[in-house]
Structure 1
Amino acid sequence: MKKLVLSLSVLSLLFASCSEDNDETTTTKIPVVGEISGDLTTNKTYPYGNYTLSGIVKIQSGVTLTFEAGSKITADKSNGTDALVVLNGGKLIVNGTAGEPVVFTESSQVPGSWGGIIMYGDAPIVGASSAPSATAEDGVLVNGVALTYGGSNPTHNGGSLKYVRVEYAGKKISDGTSEMNGFSFYSVGSGTVLENLVSYKGADDGFEFYGGTVSATNLISYGNFDDSFDWQDGWKGQLNSNWYAYQTGTGNFGMEIEAKTVDNAFWPVISGITLKRSTGTVVETPGEYDAIQFKKQGNGYFSNILVEGFTEGVFCRIQETTTNNAQVTGGKIKLTNFKINGTTPQTGYGGSTAFTITFPSGNFTTSTTATGASLTNGAWSTVNGATLLQ
């Protein structure tokens, strides 16, 4: 009987050990390999994998393209101009996570090698002379014709981009005037989700909004040659927060804000902004080295701002007297609870003619406790083992 009890005890231990071993077994995901090219005319989901992007890929109206977490999509400038374009009516769904972002990159790792992500919608814009539409500046053609943008649908939905990193974009097209950014949003509406996005080492702007009503949270613009954040055409996103910019190597304005010389009765709202410029950073365009520039009647309400390193320029530059008179004096520019680390002057004017910049009471206030953007580091904000949050 004792032998039988002992044997049963040994067997019990063996089964328990096997059970524990099985619990610790992990399944390694094997990435799918493939190519993405041409016009996408039917819904498509790309599972976790490594894909090449070939040419200007257009998501047609009525079509949804989806990428699963952890995927990597690589362009190659040696094969011509590459970009991922969401046409009006199409949708792009990118389901990255903090630990498994979806990365769009380029094989040479040279800034300006491809066109990044470009999205079109039919939300309202206010173009030059208050025009309700405008011609895009990205050089993308459909049936040989440049794309236009602008509409009357403020809730346009172009999809959902979560935990997406675009690297080495900002291609300049050979016609000498057309340029692409890391992320370009033309007439994109408030139904579109933009969260935890990174534009890394592009040769133009990190993020640019061309009118529309979309808002964005948790943005990182790192090492982009032109402006970290840029908008025009009456963009009026209202729910923006946690925008972080770090300029290094080459960089112009932290934020360039314009409105096609139209005195709009609205403005975008952003809370939690960090604008940093590393020592030794040079400008791509002479004179464009301020933290924030307002021109052509650009405006906005911004709060909890941290600025550091813009020692050649100023914190807030008002470019023209018309912008000063209508937007500053008119109360359409607010910069509240800002903190400047270093010696950057608070304000300055553009052009050769001096004018006095006087904000209405409460519209321009400093703070000793402003924190700027509040972001949680992870794989989504780390490149080659180094965090982008300096």
Structure 2
Amino acid sequence: MPLLVMKFGGTSVADLGRIENAAKKVQLEVERGYDVIVIVSAMSGKTNELVGWVETTSKLYDAREYDAVVASGENVTAGLMALRLQEMGVPARSWQGWQVPINTTSAHGSARFVSIPRDHIDAKFAEGFKVAVVAGFQGVSAEGRITTLGRGGSDTTAVAFAAAFGAERCDIYTDVDGVYTTDPRITAKARKLDKIAFEEMLELASLGAKVLQTRSVELAMRFKVRLRVLSSFEDTDETSGTLVCDEEEIMESKVVSGVAYSRDEAKMTLVSVEDRPGVASAIFGPLAEAGVNVDMIVQNISEKNYGTHTGAVTDMTFSVPVNQVARAQKAMQDALDAGIVRYDDLITDTDVAKVSVVGIGMRSQVGVAAKMFAALAAENINIKVIATSEIKISVLIDRKYLELAVQTLHDAFELEKA
């Protein structure tokens, strides 16, 4: 039988009524002739509650016990979903991660997949079961301990199962009806995309779009898993939602497909860093060791006196999430104290935001940057930092101009038009 993977997020299984609604969508696909693997998240809010219980019980908790507790939310949902399907006459069985088994590394809280054997679930399908309901977000280590996969782990579980079982498609059911050209809460002109390329979705996800988790898109792109994002709360058919697929499936792309943003950014500048081979490593090595996620990097060279030494110096500017500023400041101060790097000052601006335009059409079109900068200039929005890749252009601007910038760029590239 053809196989389909269906994933339901926390809001889609938030209570018994929503679990029943999700089960009806599964039943419909079974009636269409599919065997179905259903990946479920914990009921909305349950994971946060479990994390809170762990942190209240033990400030310096054992990560292995943390995973044992936090993974239980998905186990409850899987059992309830299987029971509901059975009540509807659909042969279904639930599976916890260790029962499949979903083999992972031993990095508790951020484990990665090693393998997903098909034998046990294939055997149940052969017996006549139509649905395997699998608890997402979890697996089992080589030591036999329960592991969890970190943020967005259920999305990643769904894609991994689709790859392992050669599924026709992986449907991600969530509280939105697809991927939009930008956040509809910022501009009413935002348009739902019928299709988007893996690379574009990966950029949008990494730049702040919350529809899909970055790791799941990376996995889908690697194994060519066709993803469909659609709403749990609407009637759907084969044309519903947004298909995330290979670039070759998209006949003709607009130059820009979407505008993404990240509100919580900070800009940090090391002033008068000695310009010598290895200085970038001396800066970004300590930041990496401190767990700071550096994004945009700009280096400006100038010739000036550096203390008692006359020579080339550089200003090094980079962006980090605003909640990692203190960690970055400490890492740079420690590096200065240890003599790893020398600089005159560290200037931090925590009132910035990042806005990006993304599109595979940029590869073959010129003038995208000029159009973007002209549109922002027309609204008197000053650009602080620019970073580019083959299919994206990102800028840092004052946070107060974020909504205006998103609306301006959406209009400039006419993204409301199909």
TM-score by length of structure 2 reads 0.26
* TM-score normalized with structure 1 length: 0.27
Structure with greater strand percent: 1
Q: Which structure would you say has the larger RCO, counting Cα contacts within 8 Å and 6 or more residues apart?
A: 2
Whichever structure has more helix as a proportion of its residues is 2
